A and B are shown apart, each in its own frame.
Chain A
Amino acid sequence: MSHATQHRNDEDLLTADVRNAADRKALLPPLMPELGVFVALFALAATSVLVAFWSAFGGLAILACLAIAVVMAALVMIFFMHLRSAMAVMTLASLAGVVWLAILFGLTMADYLTRPGEIGSSIQTPRQAETEAEAAN
C-alpha cells in the first residue's frame, strides 16, 4: 500500500469520527448505486421468466436464461459483494472458484462427449469400443 493511500485512509477514518451524530442515526445509508442495481436485477429476472415461457426458443430457452443469470451474478458480485471497491486479490480469489469450476465442467464433458455413438447411447470408453470392434472382426 502506498503512503498516499494510507494517508487518504487515515483522513477517511478521521472524517468518519467527526461525522455528526444525527447522520449516524439515520435509518438508511445512501441507497445508490445498490438500489439501481437491484432494479436492474429485477428487470433481468423478469426478462428471464419471459424468455423461459416464450415458445419460440423451445428447449433452448434455458441457455438464454443461464446467460441472463451470468449477467445477474456479475452484478451481485460487483455491487452487492463489493468487488467494485475491493483489492485486486479479492477479484482473483473470486475468479479462482469460477476457473476451477470451468475445469470441472470441461474435463467431465470431455469424457461424456467423446464416447462412441450417439450422446447418451453408450457408457463405453472409446478404447473399449475399439477393442470390441476388433474382437468382432
Chain B
Amino acid sequence: MTDVEAATIGRTRGGTAASSPALASHFHDLRQQHAAADLGLWIFLATEILFFGGLFAAYLVYAVLYPDGFLEAAAETEVVIGTINTALLLTSGLSAALAVKAAGNDMRRSVMLLIAVTIGLGVVFLGAKGYEYWLDFGHHLYPTSPDFPLAAPPAKLFWSLYWMMTGLHAIHILVGLGTWGVILFQAWRRSFSLTDNSRVRIAGLYWGFVDLMWLFIWPLLYLMGRAT
C-alpha cells in the first residue's frame, strides 16, 4: 500500500473529513484538529499567565509592605485614559469573539470586517497608551527622573511596576495586532479554508488573554488610591 492510499483510508474513517482538504493527514477528523490547536494555545496561555504573574506577585508584595506609598503613587496615573482603554479592549474582545463565531459559520466577509474592527480598536488603544506615556513623561513619573514628584520611596516601586506591566501588556497587544494583520491578509487572499478556522480561533484566544490581563492591570494601576 502506498502512503497516499494509506492516507486516503485514514481520512475516509473520519467521515466527512475525507472531503475536506483542510484536514491535516495526522488528524482523525476536523474536530480533533481544532481541539489540538485550541489545547496548544491554552497551554501556552497558562505559561503567559505566569509570565505576567511574576509582576503581579511583585505588586502584591510591595503593596502589602507599603500600602500608603502605593495608594499615593497610584492616584497619579491617568485614570480617564486607562478607563477609556478598558472600554476599547472590552469592545475589541467582543469583535474578536464574533470574528471567531463568524469563522465557524464560514462567513468570510464578516470575519474580515470583524478582524479589521478588532485591529482598529487595538491601534486606538496603543495610540491612547502612547499619549498617556507622553503625559507621564511630562510629569516626570519615571523612577529614574531627578524631578520625580512623589516623596515616598515606595512610589518609585509602584511606577517601576507601572511601566513594566503596561509595557509588557502593550507588547502583547502589538503581537496580537500582528497576528490579526497576518490572518486578515490571508483571509483576503483566501489562502486558507474557513473549514479549518483554527488560526482565527487561536488568535481570538490570544486576544482574549490580552483582554484578561488588562482587566487586572486596570484596577491595580488606575483604580487604586482614588477614594483616599
Contacts and interface: CB of A to CB of B under 8 A. Distances in A.
Interface of A: 1, 6-7, 9-10, 13-14, 16, 19, 23-31, 34-35, 37-38, 41-42, 45, 48-49, 52-59, 61-62, 65-66, 68-69, 72-73, 76-77, 79-82, 86-87, 89-90, 93-94, 96-98, 100-101, 104-105, 108-109, 112-113, 119-120
Interface residues of B, number: 69
Contact of A29 (B91, B110, B224): B110
Contact of A94 (B16, B46, B109): B46
B90 A66 contact: no
B220 A35 contact: no
Nearest to B225: A59
Given A26-B107, A61-B227, A101 B219 contact: no
B160 to A, nearest CB: 17
B65 to A, nearest CB: 4
B205 interface: yes
A76 B215 contact: yes
A45 B50 contact: no
B216 A66 contact: yes
A28 B114 CA distance: 8
A16 B211 CA distance: 31
Interface in B71-110: 71, 83, 86-87, 90-91, 93-94, 96-98, 100-102, 105-110
Given A25-B109, A80-B97, A52 B57 contact: no
B45 A97 contact: yes
B226 interface: yes
Nearest to B32: A1
A29 B205 CA distance: 18
Interface string B190-228: 000001000001001100110110011011100111111
